[in-house]
Amino acid sequence: MPVTDTDLLREHGLRVTAPRLAVLDALGGRAHLDADAVLREVRTTLPNVSVQAVYDVLHALADAGLLRRIEPAGHPARYERRTGDNHHHVVCRGCGALDDVDCAVGHAPCLTPSSTSGFAVESAEVTFWGLCPTCRSAA
Ligand SMILES: [Zn+2]
Ligand SMILES: [Zn+2]
* Ligand with minimal distance to 99 CA: 2
- Averaged over 110-129, what is the pLDDT? 87
Q: In whole angstroms, what is the distance from residue 58 CA to residue 36 CA?
A: 11
Specify the range with the lowest mean pLDDT, choosing from 17-31, 48-62, 74-88, 110-124.
Answer: 110-124
* Ligand with minimal distance to 132 CA: 1
73 by Cβ neighbours in 10 Å (0-12 / 13-18 / 19+) ranks as exposed
Q: In whole angstroms, what is the distance from residue 118 CA to residue 17 CA?
A: 43
CA torsion, ordered 58, 62, 67, 72, to nearest 10 deg: 90
Give the distance (Å) from ligand 1 centre to CA of residue 109: 27
pTM: 0.86
- Sheet containing strand 68-70, edge to edge, reads 33-34, 78-80, 68-70
Quick one: what percent of the chain has pLDDT higher than 70? 95
Q: pLDDT per residue over 47-72, tens digit each?
A: 999 999 999 999 999 999 999 999 99
- Averaged over 82-94, what is the pLDDT? 91
- Tell which wins on pLDDT, 85 or 118: 118
- Averaged over 104-128, what is the pLDDT? 80
pLDDT band at 104 (very low <50, low <70, confident <90, very high): low
Give the distance (Å) from ligand 1 centre to CA of residue 96: 6
Structural domains in the chain plus CATH codes: 5-70 (1.10.10.10), 85-138 (3.30.1490.190)
Q: What is the pLDDT of residue 134?
A: 97
Report the chain's mean pLDDT, rounded to a whole number.
Answer: 92
Q: CB of 81 within 8 A of CB of 66?
A: yes
* Ligand with minimal distance to 30 CA: 2
Quick one: what percent of the chain has pLDDT higher than 90? 77
- Averaged over 6-19, what is the pLDDT? 96
